[in-house]
Amino acid sequence: MHPRYALVTNQLKKHQIRLSDRRLKILECLCYNLEHPTVDQIYVNLHKEIPTLSKTTIYNTLHTLAELGLIRIINIEDNKTRYDIITESHGHFKCQTCGSIFNFEVDLKFFATDELSGFKIMERNLYFKGICQECLLNKND
């Protein structure tokens, strides 16, 4: 079993939240198949297996998980909401060639400055754009 999947299902048990099998599929999708997917991407991914699964159900399931702090909602592009199974502090790098979003480790705690003293910070995001290593290598061919 995927470690993240085990972690989240354990937490659900602890909160006494029972997810139906089809809702668990959404979680599975987030752990195994897709990185930082949108609702649409999960929908496309699961449509063959569960044709009756609606985008609304996917949306609601993800938001339930996010409210419990088990997944993270990320808005690194203006028009797309993505969902992240990794809830620990990390940064994102988006490749502008292949569109992949990579995680990188960074402790965002250290990014608060004196200018924000007295402010309540709800979210910390670090977002880089560029070209990933693989796309750079392919370019040189």
Q: Residue 27 or residue 53: which is nearer to Zn ion going by CB?
A: 27
Min. distance of Cβ 23 from Zn ion in angstroms? 22
31 scored as a contact of Zn ion (CB under 5 A): no
Q: Residue 46 or residue 85: which is nearer to Zn ion going by CB?
A: 85
DSSP class per residue in 92-133 = EEEETTT--EEEEE--GGGG--GGGTTPPP-----EEEE--H
46 scored as a contact of Zn ion (CB under 5 A): no
Site for Zn ion in 60-99 (CB under 5 A): 84, 86, 95, 97-98
Site for Zn ion in 97-116 (CB under 5 A): 97-98, 103
Distant-in-sequence contacts of 82-91, Cβ < 8 A, 24+ apart? 82/36, 82/37, 82/38, 83/30, 83/36, 83/37, 83/38, 83/39, 83/42, 84/36, 85/4, 85/8, 85/30, 85/31, 86/4, 89/124, 91/125, 91/126, 91/127, 91/128
132 scored as a contact of Zn ion (CB under 5 A): yes
Q: Residue 53 or residue 132: which is nearer to Zn ion going by CB?
A: 132
7 scored as a contact of Zn ion (CB under 5 A): no
The site that binds Zn ion (CB under 5 A) totals a number of residues, namely: 8
**CA torsion, points 65, 71, 75, 80, in degrees to nearest 10?**
-60
Q: Residue 65 or residue 84: which is nearer to Zn ion going by CB?
A: 84
Q: Which residues bind Zn ion (CB under 5 A)?
A: 84, 86, 95, 97-98, 103, 132, 135
